[in-house]
Structures are given as C-alpha cells and as structure tokens.
Structure 1
C-alpha cells in the first residue's frame, strides 16, 4: 500500500507526529510506503522522519493562516496533482485544511480520519465559532464520507455520536501504542537533575507536556504550591513547549516565590526526555482532555509512577488495572493525589508494575499498528 499521512508534522504539534512516527516504523517493516504531508510556518522544527519514509513540507498561506492556521495552497496543489498515487490518505484531527482538502480533490482514494480527541466537550467548546463555521461549510459532510473514522476509546465514540446525532457506520476503536523497546534502557539516574540544577535530596515531580490550558496547569500549579508548603522536600519540573500557558505559568511561579520549588525546563526530547523520566519520582498530567496521551504512555513505559486525570484517553482502563493514581479535576483533588502517592513508596511501586504489565498486554506499538494497518487493508479500493 501507498499511504499518505496529513498532519502538522512539527515538534510544536504535540502528540500526533510521535504517533505517526511510531506507526510508520511498523508499517515500513511490512513493506508499505509512507509519505507525510505537512503544513508548516517558517521557524517551526519538523519532527524526525523514519528511515524509508518521506516528508513533504508545504508552507501555510500567509494572512489566511493567521485565522485558519493550517491553510496551505501548496498542500492543496500537491494533493490535486498526486492524490491518485496513494491507496490510503490518513488525516489527523478535524477543522483544519489538511482534513478538508483530500475530500475536495478526490472521491476515489480511501480516506481515514483520526479524531485525536478533538470532539471532547472541553476541546469543542474552545474556538467554537471557527468549528461551527467549518462544520457548516464542509467538515461534517466530508467526515460522513470517510472510509474509516479512527478513535482511541469508547469516550470518543460518545463524542462522535453527540457530534453527528447518529453513529457513523465506519468507526474503528484502536488505542495509541508505545514502542516499549525505546524505554528498555534508560539513562543513569541523576543526569537530568544535574543538567538542570535540580536538587538531589528532594523528590522530583515531572509534568511533561505542552504548556497549554487544557493540560490542567491551572489545577497543578496551585495544588503543588499548597503541597510544597507542607512538604518542602519536593520539586516540580515543568517540561514542555509554550502553547499559550507559558507566561501564566511564569507569573504564577514569580507571584508565589516558588522559583526553588518549580522549574521550567523547556521541551525535552530524546535522551533528555528519558533522563527526566528516569529521575522522576512521579509523573503527573491532570489534563482536561486528551485523545490518548502519548506522554502518559511513555511515562508508564519508563516505569515512572503516574498521577493523572481520567481524561487522558484510557482512564477506565487505568482504573481497572490500578495503573496510575487518578485525581479529581480540582486543585484540592490534585493536591490530595500528590499527598497520597508521594507518601507511599509501595503504592508508587505497585502502580508502576501494573502499568508495565498493561502496556505489554494492550498498548505495544507492534500490536496497535498492525490493527490500524488491517483497517486500511479493508477499505483500500481495488483496481
């Protein structure tokens, strides 16, 4: 099969590029070809491309992309000229030009759309006027035509039902996966603390995700402020690119004189990310909404105990397997979670072991990617 992924394939885009990267590595091993078509703006850093795949960068259209970010005339021209070279076009997300354009130029090639959690009530409520405008123009009609609508969990099935008012006939539920072998060997403990000047005699809580309002930073920051007043032997490292909440985070730290207890360390990649997970006593993500959090999967794969909300994409499974400590989405709820899990070494060890077993059974990338590949095969148009 010849597969085209359409996604903003940059470090700034968050989880989808990592998902595409991991899936592509598996798909290439099966002998298929993969191209990645990505809108971009000057200054953005493309995500790494698996060996054997091809990245096609298309500039966003000036002026228009200030309001509708992913609009790219180059992307549209590429599709118009090359769409019939592919067997499957896989679009990632909704309400952006890359998900609309393939339906505009073609009715023959199989099309797959991954929702990535954007129909969640919390996400849908933001920039709603743009979403309703695009829905009215084309989005709902095009999504009805999708050969496969890929969702990560049953919560998204309900979101999809609420969005359409009926159940789409071509839905597959396949979770995200993680390449467990990437985390089999972690850097020695202490490297992350040494690089960023973090104390070695204090417990380390790690937040590692984009600095975005939906990630629950408005809960975590006051919760940790109150926690550290009673437990000054703890430090919070905030790792991630600024996605709209960086200034609010810096102001909070300054306002409450928390510079010794909260550290902004920027976006971490590669060995720095693994070193952070190796050093952390706890990973936390009290998010309001995730399609299926890669950050949580990676923390679990590294053996780092996790403290998360049940909105990270597989909350019910986490609850059933006691694979993380779940928290209520309030500052008091997050603080209570910190109190419980950081005081109990045995609990942290138990949920870490449970998470590892869960990942091996259900979320290994080889298993997950093969399921998506099978979904492609079923809808590819025969010549």
Structure 2
C-alpha cells in the first residue's frame, strides 16, 4: 500500500506530527510505503521522518496562507502531478487548504480524514466566522465524500454528529497510540534544572504545549499565582512555541511580579524534552480542547504525575484508571487541584503507575497502528 499523509509536519504543530511519525514507522514495518506532504514556511523546523519514509515540504503561499490556513500552490501542484502514484490519502485535520486540495483534483483514491479534535465546541467557536464560511463553502461536503472519518473517542463522535446533523456510516473510533519504550531510559535527574539554572529544591510544575489560550493558560497562570503565594517553594515552566498567547503570558508575569517563578523556555525536543519531564514534580494541561493529547501521554509514559482537564482526548480512560487529577475548567478548579496534588505526596505518587498501566493496556502503538491499517484496507476495498 502506498500512503500519502497531508499535514503541517513541523515541531511547532505538536501532537499530530508525533502521531504521524509513530503510525508511519509501524506502516513501514508492515511493508507499506509512506509519504508525508507538509506545507511549511521559511524558518519552520520540520519534524523528523522515520527512516524509509518520504517527506515532501511544500512552501506556504503568502500572504494568502495568513488568512486561509496552510494555503500552498506547491502542495496543490504536487498533488496534481503525483496523486496517481498513491493508493490512499490520509488528511490530518480540517479547516485548512490541505484538507480541501485533494477534492479539487479528479481521482478515485480512498480518502481518510482524521478530525484531531477540531470539531470540539470550543474549537468551532474559535475564529468562528472563518469556520462558518468554510462550512458554507465546502467543509460538510468534503466530510460527506470521505471514505473514512477517523475520530479518537466518543466525544469526537458527538462532535461530528452535532456538526453534520447525522451520524455518518464511515465514522471509525481509533485512539491515538504511542511507542513507550523511549521513556524507559531518562536523562539524569537534575539535567533540565541545571541547563536553565532552575531551583533544585523547589517543586517544578511543567506545562508543555503551544502557548495558545485553548490550552487553558488563562486558567493556569492565575491558579499558579495563587498557589505560589501560599507556597513560594514552587515554580512553573512553560515549554512550547508561541501560538498567540505569549504576549498575554508575559504581561501576566510582569504584572504579578513572577519573573523569578514562571520560566518561558520555548519549544523543547528530543533529550531536553525528556529531561524536563524527568525533573518535573507535576505536569499540567487544563486544556479546553484536544483531539488526543500526545503531551499528556508522553508525561504519563515518563511517569510524571499529571493534572489535566477531561478535554485532553481520553478523559474517560483517565477517570476509569484514576490516572491523573481531573480539574474543572475554572481558575478555582485548577487552583484547588494544584493545592490538592502538590500538598499530598501520597496522592501525587499514586498516579504514575496507574497512568502507565492505562497507556500500556490501551494505547500501545503497534496495536493501534494495525487497527488504522485495517481501516485503510477497508476504505480501499470500498473503492474497488
């Protein structure tokens, strides 16, 4: 099978790139060929591709791409010239040009669309006028034409039904998976703190993700300020690229005199990201909307206690296994969560083993990837 993935495959995009990497690696092991077609801008850092995969970067076309996400004439030209070489197209996400482009070219290839949480009510309300326009022009029509609509959980099923007004027959639920063995060996304790000259005896709270309001930073920042006022032996690390909320974050830090207690370290990758997880006392992500948070899965794989919302994509699993502290999406709720978890060591240390068991039993990539490949094969059979 020759598979073409379409996604902004950069470090800045976060979870989807990691998901594609892991699924691609498994597809290659099973004898398939995989190409990743990625719109990009000058300065973007491309995510690494598994050995044997083909990565095709396509320049975003400015200034249109600043208005219409991922718009790229190069991407369209590549599809026009090479679509016939593939057996199946897998589109990651909606609302962007890459999700439309294959439908502008005459073909008979099966198409899989992964929603990645982008029909969540919070996500739909964000930039609503643009999404209303895209919905009116084509979004519902192309979802109806997809051979497989892939979602991660029952919440996303409800999102799709609410958006389309009916439950499509081609809807499949496949959770995201991960390869967990890379977290078996972690950097030496204290490596990250030493790198950034952070206190060695204080509790380190780690947020890892794009600096975007949807990640719940408007809740986390005041919640941390309240906790830190009562317990100054703590600090917060914000690790991730700016995605619209850096200026607001910096303003909050200055206005609350937290320059020595909130540290912006930018995007972390590779061993440095693992070092940050290894040094953290608590991982936090009070997100309003996630398709299926890879950041939370990585923290749990690294055995870091976590405080998250139930909107991270697998809240029902977390609740079932009691794998993390599930916080309400309010400042008071996050504040109470910080006090509860950080001031109760027995509770905090009870989460990692349960979280790791949850991951191994439900989200091992080798099992999940085979389910996805089966969905591909069904889509191809339906086209033949």
Question: Same fold by TM (over 0.5)?
Answer: yes
- 1:123 corresponds to 2:143: no
Q: Judge conservation of contact 1:21–1:50 (CA < 8 Å) in 2.
A: yes
Helix, strand or coil: the match of 1:347?
A: helix
Specify the alignment match of 1:311 in structure 2: 311
Deviation track 1:120-147 (CA, whole Å, cap 9, x = no partner) reads 0001001111112122222211110111
Structure 2 residues not aligned, in runs of 5+: none
1:206 matched residue in structure 2:
206
Cα-to-partner distance string for 1:149-169 (whole Å, 9 max, x where unaligned): 000000000000000000011
- Counterpart residue number, 1:50: 50
Determine the structure 2 residue equivalent to 1:7: 7
Determine helix, strand or coil for the equivalent of 1:112.
strand
Q: CA deviation at 1:107?
A: 3.9
Moved more, 60-69 or 171-180: 60-69
2: CA distance, partners of 1:237 / 1:41: 28
Q: Which residue of 1 aligns with 2:351?
A: 351
**Residue deviations 1:326-381 (CA, integer Å, cap 9, x gap):** 11111110010011111111112211110010001001111111111111011115
SS of aligned partner of 2:292: coil
- The alignment's TM-score, normalised by the length of structure 1, stands at 0.98
Q: CA deviation at 1:270?
A: 0.3
Contact 1:83/1:106, CA 8 A, preserved across alignment: no
Partner in structure 2 of residue 183 of structure 1: 183
Give the superposition deviation at 1:307. Answer: 0.2
Higher mean C-alpha deviation, range 31-40 or range 59-68? 59-68
CA distance in 2, matches of 1:314, 1:97: 28
Q: Is the 8 A contact 1:238 1:265 kept in 2?
A: yes
Residue 178 of structure 1 contacts residue 301 of structure 1 at CA under 8 Å; is this kept in 2? no
Question: What secondary structure does 2:34 align onto?
Answer: strand
Post-superposition Cα deviations, 1:75-107, rounded to whole Å, max 9, x if no partner, equal 111111111211110001111111111122134
- Does the 8 A contact of 2:212 with 2:245 survive in 1? yes
Q: Secondary structure at the match of 2:162?
A: helix
Equivalent residue for 1:229?
229
Indicate the SS of the match to 1:166.
Answer: coil
Q: Which residue of the partner structure matches residue 293 of structure 1?
A: 293
- Is residue 2:23 matched to residue 1:23? yes
Q: Corresponding residue for 1:108? A: 108
C-alpha distance in 1 between matches for 2:260 and 2:298: 27
Q: Distance in 2 between matches of 1:70 and 1:141?
A: 20
Hey, what's the Cα distance between the residues in 2 that align with 1:232 and 1:27? 49
SS in 2 for 1:242: coil
Q: Which runs of 4+ in 1 moved over 4 A?
A: none
Q: Calculate the TM-score normalised by the size of structure 2.
A: 0.98
**Contact between 2:88 and 2:111, CA under 8 Å: does it hold in 1?**
yes
Q: Which residue of structure 1 aligns with residue 272 of structure 2?
A: 272
Q: Which residue of 2 aligns with 1:250?
A: 250
Bigger Cα displacement from structure 2, 187-196 vs 56-65: 56-65
Contact conserved, 2:322 with 2:354, CA < 8 A, in 1?
yes
**CA offsets, 1:254-278, max 9 Å, x none?**
1111112111111110000100111
Give the secondary structure class of the aligned counterpart of 1:380: helix
Aligned to 1:67: 67
Partner-residue secondary structure (3-state), 1:204: strand
Q: In the alignment, which residue of structure 2 is the partner of 1:262?
A: 262
Query: Can you list the C-alpha shifts for 1:294-323, whole angstroms capped at 9, x where unaligned?
Result: 000000000001000111011111111100
> How many aligned positions are there?
383
**CA distance in 2 between partners of 1:341 and 1:318 (Å):** 16
**1:69 Cα offset (Å):** 2.4
* Aligned-partner Cα distance in 2 for 1:66–1:358: 40
SS of 1:142 mapped into structure 2: helix
Instruction: Could you tell me which runs of 5 or more consecutive residues in structure 1 were left unpaired when the two chains were aligned.
Output: none
Matches of 2:180 and 2:358 in 1, distance apart? 12
The alignment's C-alpha RMSD in Å is 1.0
SS at match of 1:290: coil
Cα distance in 2, alignment partners of residues 75 and 250 from structure 1: 36
Are residue 156 (structure 1) and residue 156 (structure 2) matched?
yes
Q: Are the aligned partners of 1:299 and 1:306 in contact in 2 as well (CA < 8 Å)?
A: yes
